[in-house]
Structures are given as structure tokens and as C-alpha cells.
């Protein structure tokens, strides 16, 4: 069974088509990146897949449950690390993690146990008693991803996880994401092409709401007859390359 299967997934805002008949299949354990310039439809796609926004038409089935008809079932299997800071500012790192575990149904004892595990695996012990608002951007992002993983999601959406981070913090977060590969299905959106290139099993390139190409980095470069992934991306995202 695929982790995610979309069928003509479409989102319209009045006359504007944000996502147009998207058909995608993502396998379990895959790290799948969605790339595109601003307004390509990446974030709208993520919002539909994570049940934040209802599709205008079409559907997406996540591990057997439809986002259109069973959003609550889908929500139990997924988690999201949104763009920007998504932490409760006046709560400590530990409290933030316990809160999210509770929101996903863990009782107090389970929440404490899971929090301890996440603090250890994400190296958050030195800041566990610090309020989230006092953390640096890098620590906040790390906490944000730990909060997304504490519910043991089968599918994880990472929306621009390294936006605004310095190069060291970014590489640090890459290592964290790499460790998750194969264990969780990850859908990543990013503007950093080198990030998608380094982390992804497969990449989808969207432009003007439509899927332009899907494949591995090598497949995309080969299809566009380019030597650099950036050139392949430009060819596909600007519409100069044929759809794959």
C-alpha cells in the first residue's frame, strides 16, 4: 500500500486554481520533496494532504484513509512541522513535547515517557527546561520537528524546515532528517535545491499548480539533459522542459 495516493487533487480559490488535478503516488518510508517557485502550489498541496484545507475536487488517500471523507483518521497518522516557529512560547521544551503527546491521545505517563525519548534522540536535554521563546532559531526548529515526531506519525510533513537557519544549524537538521529516512514517510517542501538534492529519494517539481515532473535527481537531470540539478529545476519549473 502506498503511503500517499492522490487522484486529480484540485484546489480552487474563486477563479484561481492553486493545485490542478495532482496525481502522485508516494511509497512508505520514502523521503519525497515538493519543489517549485513561489505560488507553485506546494504549500496548498501540503495543506490538503494534512487535512488543513479541503480539496475542491479529487481526493488523496493516506495509508488507506481519505482526506475528504475521513480527515480525523488521517490526522491520527500524520504530523506536521509547519513553516516558521510553531512552538508554545511560554512553555518549556519538555512541556511543549508533553502537550503535543497529549493532543494525540497519550496519557500523562505515556507523554512523559515519549518526551524523555524525544529529548534524548534530538539532543534537547541541555535546553529541556528552557522556555521555547528563549531558544535560538536552530533549537526551535529542532524542537518543532521533535514535536511533530512525538506522536509517532507514519507520515511527516516538513514545510521549509531549514528556512532562516544558518549553515551549521541547517546541516545539523539535515543529519536529523537523514536519521528518519526509511522509518517515516517524509514529505518535504523547500526552496533550497541542495537540500532536496541531498535528502530526497524522489522529487516532484510543481509550477502554476500543476505537477511538471517526478523522479530521482538523476532522472530529472537526465530528462532535461542538464549536468546540474539547479538547471534541471529551472528547465522544469519555468516550463522549458517537457513534463516527466
User: Whole-angstrom Cα distance, residue 235 to residue 174?
Assistant: 26
CA distances from 120 to 59, 113, 132, 186 (A): 38, 11, 17, 21
Stretch that binds other proteins, among 33-41, 47-55, 165-173, 201-209 (CB under 8 A): 47-55
The answer to whether the CB of 19 falls within 8 A of the CB of 45 is yes
The answer to whether the CB of 119 falls within 8 A of the CB of 80 is no
Decide: is 88 part of the binding site for other proteins (CB under 8 A): yes
Taking the complex as a whole, the smallest distance from the CB of residue 86 to other proteins amounts, in Å, to 4
Written as nine digits, the cell of 129 is 527546561
Taking the complex as a whole, the smallest distance from the CB of residue 116 to other proteins amounts, in Å, to 17
120 to 149: interface string for other proteins, x by CB under 8 A = -----------x---------------xx-
Kindly give, in sequence order, each residue whose CB lies less than 8 Å from that of residue 87, ignoring residues fewer than 6 positions away.
96, 132, 133, 135, 140, 143, 144, 147
Of the residues 107, 152, 216, 238, which one makes contact with other proteins according to CB under 8 A: 107
Alpha helices in the chain (DSSP H): 42-49, 71-77, 93-103, 108-121, 137-149, 167-180, 193-199, 217-224, 229-237
Decide: is 191 part of the binding site for other proteins (CB under 8 A): no
How far from chain centre, in Å, is Cα 147? 13
Taking the complex as a whole, the smallest distance from the CB of residue 6 to other proteins amounts, in Å, to 18
Rg of the chain over Cα atoms, rounded to whole angstroms, equals 18
Stretch that binds other proteins, among 30-38, 91-99, 116-124, 236-244 (CB under 8 A): 91-99
Looking at beta carbons only, is 24 or 147 nearer to other proteins? 147
Decide: is 86 part of the binding site for other proteins (CB under 8 A): yes
Taking the complex as a whole, the smallest distance from the CB of residue 53 to other proteins amounts, in Å, to 5
Note the residues at the interface with other proteins (CB under 8 A): 47, 50-53, 72, 75-76, 78-91, 95, 98-107, 111, 131, 147-148, 151, 157
Amino acid at each position: 500500500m502506498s503511503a500517499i495516493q492522490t487522484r486529480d487533487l484540485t484546489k480552487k480559490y474563486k477563479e484561481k486554481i492553486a493545485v490542478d488535478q495532482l496525481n502522485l503516488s508516494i511509497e512508505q518510508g520514502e523521503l519525497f520533496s515538493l519543489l517549485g517557485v513561489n505560488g507553485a502550489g506546494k504549500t496548498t498541496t501540503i495543506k490538503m494532504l494534512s487535512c488543513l484545507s479541503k480539496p475542491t475536487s479529487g481526493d488523496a488517500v493516506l495509508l488507506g484513509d481519505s482526506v475528504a471523507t475521513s480527515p480525523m483518521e488521517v490526522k491520527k497518522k500524520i504530523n506536521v512541522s509547519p513553516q516558521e516557529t510553531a512552538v508554545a512560547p511560554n512553555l518549556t521544551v519538555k512541556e511543549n513535547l508533553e502537550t503535543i503527546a497529549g493532543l494525540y491521545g497519550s496519557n500523562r505517563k505515556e507523554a512523559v515517557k515519549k518526551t524523555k525519548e524525544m529529548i534524548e534522540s534530538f539532543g534537547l536535554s541541555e535546553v529541556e527546561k528552557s522556555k521555547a521563546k528563549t531558544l535560538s532559531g536552530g533549537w526551535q526548529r529542532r524542537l518543532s520537528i521533535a514535536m511533530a515526531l512525538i506522536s509517532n506519525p507514519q507520515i511527516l510533513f516538513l514545510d521549509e524546515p531549514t528556512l532562516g537557519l544558518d549553515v551549521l544549524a541547517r546541516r545539523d537538521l539535515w543529519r536529523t532528517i537523514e536519521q528518519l529516512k526509511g522509518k517515516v514517510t517524509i514529505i518535504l517542501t523547500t526552496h533550497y535545491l541542495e537540500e532536496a538534492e541531498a535528502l530526497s529519494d524522489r522529487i516532484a517539481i510543481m509550477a502554476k499548480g500543476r505537477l511538471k515532473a517526478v523522479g530521482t535527481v538523476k532522472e530529472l537531470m537526465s530528462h532535461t539533459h542538464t549536468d546540474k540539478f539547479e538547471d534541471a529545476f529551472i528547465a522544469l519549473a519555468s516550463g522549458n522542459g517537457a513534463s516527466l
